[in-house]
Structure 1
């Protein structure tokens, strides 16, 4: 922040003025929703901060004629919209609970979400580039205290902060056990729609597609890896004795290999493995900084032409594929990983249409597994972008119904925090979820920024508000590698 005060001064200048519980407008009979192993992987809250400048706020007030124009109009509008939204997305008003086997499930009990109102004298322009991680963002979200009692922890929390310039931020936290990325996007889009529509007089509420909250196919006791109507004798990939080939989840196997590789030469890793770590004892590796790099639409097209060469008519690649390949090559070289060391690229794959039967439209739970590519650092550095893209495609193609079952079985044990691994790159692709376009204040946000990930290996791919064909990459890097990474990344 380029002001006479440093950032430390401003961290204390966010004042909470109101905290309320928000209940569904229509209460549902209490029910227990059984979660899948994919839901149980990470019950922590994921946070996203939306920034709206003062012109968006003015537009919001002008269009909400039923409000009196008071400063709390944004807060009141969001509260009413959330009440409407929780009536349909009712699990979001519930609480997690543990069954007798210590497995997490969701008790839909109408306890509600938490909405906080805050204010700060800071002006939004003082925050600089909103795409870059900023310590101040941590003050723009509400983090509920967790004392090991799931029954008291709200699954959805939000903080509305008014800035000195008249702009607003809306910081939203959602338990990852509740929704995955696409479902969270639909939930917040519905909330934004309800916040703007229900405040207008004589406006009929348009009901979007209804969410499906039952986990269905993804529950292990209902999972059938044999497609319906097909004899097991006719299935491919069978051994000579007729038994089925056992499918393994490459992502889990590769992760185990990386941990064992690190333990062979890292005392810190050995200590981590001996002592273990509960998922709530979050590791924050101070040796990482989070930076956002913009891969412009022009650079993406240039990389695609370089990949395809003279084969433009017979070979094409997606923006995600070329961006993931470019990131992996750049990070591996910038980190100076030993040439003979195994390095791994993992990325999320939506399995809504890969399980049998397919999940219904509007499925609101977690429906992503990780696909994985493992090579030596030397192989990654020497490989062309095209060769890595082909490996990415092979990994994605391997995610079948059997792979999903193997993956869910593998992640079904006790959850622990992922140890720091320089050799691992995880990609979370948000490019099909333009969060900045969610119009809580009738207009697109200036930016929608996730908080710095507790897992520094995660790289977020996001749409850029001013370059629709470009990708913003939020990456965790060692401070000493930032300069090298930046030089290699921008070529």
Structure 2
């Protein structure tokens, strides 16, 4: 039995090594990817008013860039796959009609909005001499070659020329294929992006059945999408926000780390309008920026500008052990996988980056505001509805705290996201200058987490079964940790994070050895 375990362990190590070696290759080390077909996919029907404008909220405007996912399939595609995907996309963007529009800058204020122009989505077919096996055994490990599996617009492209949805089907020499999808973050947040792709998959699966192919499609609940941002546009006006340093809020907007919160000591003005003295996340970020300014270049010596993307698997058994540790506290006795893994990751990352004990460190994570508002936003709301909550302490305090104590703080920060919190958050963004006018300095003391475990992309079925792997490409903020469901094991959490090369080994030790 021990010999068998050793063999499995050795085989696993070799597999990981092959994946890391593949990830270490440069993009140019792989064969070219050739585009064989390029077309624009238009809706089958016109939107309610073809030329109408959707006014975006400040949450939508935080990161107006294409965000990418690559779906890998090891088996050959059905002969009709490309045409069925195209037909499914046509039907989907007829209902999700903003996806066929374009971003634009409109007066007054020259703000970013969305014109429903029916300009369509972009669809590419491509081929490569590379084999999927060339990419390593673990496709979840980031590889620069993946950038060739998606459409990337020119850096100087005008807004009117950049599609909000772009898809590319790439056939590999081994017979497998990949579907690379880019959707603009101004259009969707993570939850609505998952709903959009699920709707597209359902339409595509129906098309594959129509041509005699086997396919069941995604087994997810589909909703009639709600595209209007009106509730969020009015939300910020509920609070008058008094901010001493609007540039800090702008930096928060740029980094997707802005969050507002009413705190004790807040009062109401004589005119009945609420005022806010401080914001939880704003205060935390302002302290981090001030800390960097006071310490100078020494705070950036952790190599934040040289990040390596890695995926770490936290198995179901490891998650259970973390929950058992957290159960030492009554408040944390019933905690989620996200809460315990986030707490463990924050402690491990802070140790790995060797943050001095006296420095302030901060954990920020996204919370879906749909159910936090009164009345709630519909589940089918397609715009951005995530705000960030925040926990902060010194590095010494973080390491002294038990896992249970850190989980308690995370739960407390999640509970703080109320209707007033969301209104304050939106008001803070509304009051800030355009995010592109300011730059956020490197902040190794800031740990950011995004929970994707409720959006199991690998289960999306376009009619040919589940994907072998679905992985995100590098995002504008590569240091963010993404928690994803794993196709390998139910209950396993895959953590994709960007880390300085010099801290990679230390993080791997602290994060994995203590599970």
Measured against the shorter chain, the TM-score band is 0.7 to 0.9
* Equivalent residue, structure 1, for 2:347: 329
Q: Structure 1 residues 399 and 54, CA, compared in 2 at 3 Å: closer, same or farther? A: same
Q: Structure 1 residues 269 and 146, CA, compared in 2 at 3 Å: closer, same or farther? A: farther
* Equivalent residue, structure 1, for 2:359: 341
Matches within 5 A, 1:101-140: 101-128=109-136, 129-140=138-149
Q: Are 1:393 and 2:411 an aligned pair?
A: yes
* Equivalent residue, structure 2, for 1:273: none
Partners of 2:379 and 2:339 lie apart in 1 by 26
Q: 1:253: Cα distance to partner?
A: 2.6
Q: Are 1:291 and 2:310 an aligned pair?
A: yes
1:414-472 C-alpha deviation (Å, 9 max, x unpaired): 11354321011110100000001111243110010001233133000000101120100
Q: 1:42: Cα distance to partner?
A: 0.5
Q: Is the 1:10–1:122 contact (alpha carbons within 8 Å) kept by the matching residues of 2?
A: no
* Equivalent residue, structure 1, for 2:248: none
Q: Structure 1 residues 465 and 21, CA, compared in 2 at 3 Å: closer, same or farther? A: same
* Equivalent residue, structure 2, for 1:434: 456
Q: Are 1:215 and 2:229 an aligned pair?
A: yes
Q: Are 1:261 and 2:299 an aligned pair?
A: no
SS at match of 2:492: strand
Q: Structure 1 residues 89 and 382, CA, compared in 2 at 3 Å: closer, same or farther? A: same
Partners of 1:105 and 1:269 lie apart in 2 by 37
Q: How many residues align?
A: 453
> Structure 1 length as normaliser, TM-score?
0.86
Matches within 5 A, 1:58-97: 61=78, 69=79, 73-97=80-104
1:218-266 C-alpha deviation (Å, 9 max, x unpaired): 013785469xxxxxxxxx9864988646274422332222122112223
From 162, 167, 171, give the equivalent of 2:176.
167
* Equivalent residue, structure 2, for 1:46: 67
* Equivalent residue, structure 1, for 2:476: 454
1:171-192 C-alpha deviation (Å, 9 max, x unpaired): 1111100000010000001111
Partners of 1:119 and 1:241 lie apart in 2 by 64
Q: Structure 1 residues 88 and 137, CA, compared in 2 at 3 Å: closer, same or farther? A: same
Q: Is the 1:294–1:473 contact (alpha carbons within 8 Å) kept by the matching residues of 2?
A: yes
Q: Structure 1 residues 148 and 223, CA, compared in 2 at 3 Å: closer, same or farther? A: farther
Q: Are 1:408 and 2:426 an aligned pair?
A: yes
Matches within 5 A, 1:459-470: 459-470=481-492
Q: Structure 1 residues 309 and 250, CA, compared in 2 at 3 Å: closer, same or farther? A: closer
Which consecutive unaligned segments of at least 5 residues does structure 2 have?
Answer: 1-17, 241-263
Q: Structure 1 residues 23 and 333, CA, compared in 2 at 3 Å: closer, same or farther? A: same
> Structure 2 length as normaliser, TM-score?
0.82
* Alignment RMSD (CA, Å): 2.8
Q: Structure 1 residues 388 and 221, CA, compared in 2 at 3 Å: closer, same or farther? A: closer
1:63-110 C-alpha deviation (Å, 9 max, x unpaired): xxxxxx3xxx32211111110100000000000111121211110110
Which consecutive unaligned segments of at least 5 residues does structure 1 have?
Answer: 62-68, 227-235, 271-283
From 437, 443, 458, give the equivalent of 2:465.
443
Q: 1:391: Cα distance to partner?
A: 0.9
Partners of 1:214 and 1:240 lie apart in 2 by 31
Partners of 2:298 and 2:94 lie apart in 1 by 48
Q: Is the 1:217–1:223 contact (alpha carbons within 8 Å) kept by the matching residues of 2?
A: no
Q: Structure 1 residues 322 and 247, CA, compared in 2 at 3 Å: closer, same or farther? A: farther
Q: Is the 2:217–2:462 contact (alpha carbons within 8 Å) kept by the matching residues of 1?
A: no
Partners of 2:323 and 2:235 lie apart in 1 by 44
SS at match of 1:46: strand
Matches within 5 A, 1:175-254: 175-201=184-210, 208-220=222-234, 224=238, 239=267, 244=274, 246=276, 248-254=278-284
Partners of 2:104 and 2:269 lie apart in 1 by 44
